Amino acid sequence: MVSAGLWLFSQLNARSRRLTSFHYVKWETADLSVLITYNALCLNVDSFPFSIQKGRGKMRKACKPVIAVHGGAGTWDPERSQAALKSVKEAAETGFKTMRGGGSAVDAVVEAVAFMEDSGNFNAGAGSALNIEKRVEMEASVMDGATLQAGAAALLSDVRNPVRLARLVMEKTDHVFVVGKGADDLARMFGLERRQSVTAAQLERYQAQLKSLLAGSGYLPRLADLIKAHPEVFQLETVGAVALDCAGNVAAATSTGGFPLKLAGRIGDSPSIGCGTYADNRSGACSASGVGEIAIRLVLAKTVCDYMGNGRAPQEAAEDAIALIKERIPNSYNVMGLIAVDVNGRIGAAHSTSNLCWAYMTAALEEPVASLKAKLVK
């Protein structure tokens, strides 16, 4: 039995390319069942990609998809939070059912993000913030960890689901990132649905944001200072999803309406591969929310994936990336939130904002778990 346990350890170690906390087990006295129980604690048994044939120690592949989604880092007041929690929960369920029905991780993250874009409860799709010129400029990206193929689109005014256009860029063009008129032409070429560019609700939020910006001082203070003073008005609610499918492939997708009152033409981290979105089958997948300029400067989503590739669990990787922001860019408005999943199906989430609206679903759960908090890194 000891040899079977050591064989299991060698297989897991080869799969992850690292020593995990397995080395605390006394292998010379361990029973195989103990090893498997211990592994369940370390590697999230709900998504452990193997099952054991009782009595013979043989291993076979099992389908254990995992998905996590977020509706953005920021301050969620009680009036808005319940609808947002319901939406992220339904988005996680949508993506999970997509994989259970035979869909890939890419299918799952695109469907989950499209659901949140359509909900109107977040700064993405139907709920997008307006720029300083009172216009919508949406952006999105998607990445396939199996192939490292990626697609992104930005400066979109009326495409219903920017994440679907990002997927078209990935799968139907030779490019990674298309913006403005070229992106709009591509959306028309493939017949993507459109939506009303600016709604009454968006205009109402714009007026509230502009009022805060102009209030009081007689001059224009820095926008970051206003956002810190009025977090309930300036929402950074990017949406995103990460997933691991039945084939062991990971994917990530992110979508946003952009920084409220941003300069026209500004592009953030959400469509920037490696910054707001990244996925690699050698490590995992990550989606970010918060101040795009911070994520861009630290290539934040790729940093989280690199941490996982070097042996850190997704939770540790997300927390360490948030801590890195505070270490390297301490004197800026630097709030962020992150979700991640690794190739073993473990999930991580961390934020430096008051809240992170997020949800996750695994094979062991009857329904998704949704929350306004993950690990707050101060």
Which residues belong to the active site?
238
Q: How many CA atoms lie within 13 A of 34 on its CB side?
A: 13
Burial 306-330, CB ≥16 within 10 A → b, else e? bbbbeebbbbbbbbbbbebbeeeee
Among residues 354, 302, 303, 356, the alpha carbon closest in space to that of 327 is found at 303
What residues contact 375, with CB distance under 8 A and at least 6 apart?
Answer: 315, 318, 319, 349, 350, 351
Round to whole Å and give the CA distance between 273 and 252.
Answer: 10
- Tell me which H or E stretch contains 28: none
For the beta sheet containing 375-376, the strands, ordered from the edge strand earlier in sequence to the opposite edge, are 277-280, 284-290, 336-342, 347-351, 375-376
Among residues 209, 202, 270, the alpha carbon closest in space to that of 241 is found at 270
Residue 278, φ and ψ in degrees, nearest 5: -160, 150
Residues in the chain: 378
- Tell me which H or E stretch contains 142: strand 138-144
Residue 35, φ and ψ in degrees, nearest 5: -60, -40
Amino acid at 49: P
Which tokens belong to 204? 């109402």
Whether 321 and 272 have beta carbons less than 8 Å apart is answered as no
